[in-house]
Amino acid sequence: MRSLPVALVAAALFCAAAPQALAQAAPPAADTMFQATTLNLAAYGETDVQPDKATITLGVATEGQTAAAAMQANADQMSRVVAALRRAGLAERDIQTSSLNLSPQYHHQENQPPRLTGYQASNLVTITVRDLKRLGAAIDATVGAGANQMHGISFGLQDPTAAENAAREQAVKALAAKAELYARATGHRISRLVSLSEGSASYPRPPMPMMMDMAMSARKAETSVSAGELTVRVDVTGLYELSR
């Protein structure tokens, strides 16, 4: 068998590879060179609604000479508090233990080692009141039953869907208005909305403070609690394509 000269083999390989190399080196098509002008914006919508539920953390702190005594006193007192909550109309699902602690108590004196004086037990529950008309009475019932710890109150919505949807509509309207403004200012017009994304709904207004009415009249005054309003906020971002 006769061998082909090296020069002929190299020439043949170059001719075979040339079309592929030429194809790779070809300039991009005209439509791929065009870059659309886009506008990336953010907006938000808010709506104010009246809350229909309240959440409170409350409980009992007791002391004893021994750990067992402190825990037993706490259990007895907390049982009365929970029973009062149930009589006030709270369901089992709306009473949840949130903290249970037992800690030694020491007396500190200068130049002396700490001296153990006893133990403190605390038990806190987080309750949800779904009928705000019963809120003041529920607080009074727990205090009357022995609750001596209370750590704030917050208000919310049992079903936030309607409020969140109203905020969404406001957010989309605000986003569209902002896009139209930017388009006019830059000599463009809105061609289409390319993408739209939403952040999680939020409640930016802080929880309303609980107001204790300590005034006495002919009868014992009920604790007064003002629910106020909640602001529901939804944030959105959108990508618009512009044209001349």
57 and 143, same domain (yes or no): yes
Query: What mean pLDDT do residues 134-150 have?
Result: 93
93 and 41, same domain (yes or no): no
In this predicted model, which residue has the larger pLDDT, 24 or 165?
Answer: 165
240 and 173, same domain (yes or no): yes
Q: How many CB atoms lie within 10 A of CB 138?
A: 24
Q: For 48-61, how does the pLDDT look when each residue is reduced to its tens digit (9 = 90+)?
A: 999 999 999 999 99
- Two tokens at 19? 């079309």
Query: What mean pLDDT do residues 73-101 have?
Result: 95
Dihedral over alpha carbons 88, 49, 236, 180 (to 10 degrees): 180
3-class state of residue 69 by DSSP: helix
Per the domain annotation, does 75 fall within a domain?
yes
68 and 43, same domain (yes or no): no
Under 8 Å between Cβ of 67 and 101: no
Q: For 147-195, how does the pLDDT look when each residue is reduced to its tens digit (9 = 90+)?
A: 999 988 999 999 999 999 999 999 999 999 999 999 999 999 999 999 9
CA gap 210, 132 in Å, rounded = 13
Per the domain annotation, does 1 fall within a domain?
no
pLDDT band (50, 70, 90) for residue 36: confident
Q: pTM, whole model, 2 decimals?
A: 0.69
Q: 108: which residues sit within 8 A by CB, 6+ positions away?
A: 114
150 and 58, same domain (yes or no): yes
214 and 224, same domain (yes or no): yes
Domain endpoint, select from 139, 156, 173: 156
- pLDDT score, position 68: 97
CATH number reported for the structural domain that contains residue 63 in this entry: 3.30.70.2970
Q: How many CB atoms lie within 10 A of CB 241?
A: 15
- pLDDT score, position 140: 93
45 and 165, same domain (yes or no): yes
- Two tokens at 111? 């130049």
Domain endpoint, select from 104, 138, 156: 156
Domain endpoint, select from 100, 132, 156: 156
pLDDT band (50, 70, 90) for residue 205: low
Q: Is residue 105 pLDDT above 90, yes or no? A: yes
- pLDDT score, position 218: 33
| Short-list 26, 11, 49, CA closest to 233 | 49
Most confident option among 22-36, 119-133, 212-226: 119-133
pLDDT band (50, 70, 90) for residue 227: confident
86 and 58, same domain (yes or no): yes
Helix (H) or strand (E) holding 171: helix 161-185
- pLDDT score, position 203: 82
The mean pLDDT of the chain is 84
Structural domain including 167 reads 31-51+158-244
Strands 115-129 and 53-64: antiparallel
63 and 147, same domain (yes or no): yes
137 and 151, same domain (yes or no): yes
CA gap 86, 79 in Å, rounded = 11
144 and 65, same domain (yes or no): yes
- pLDDT score, position 202: 84
pLDDT band (50, 70, 90) for residue 200: confident
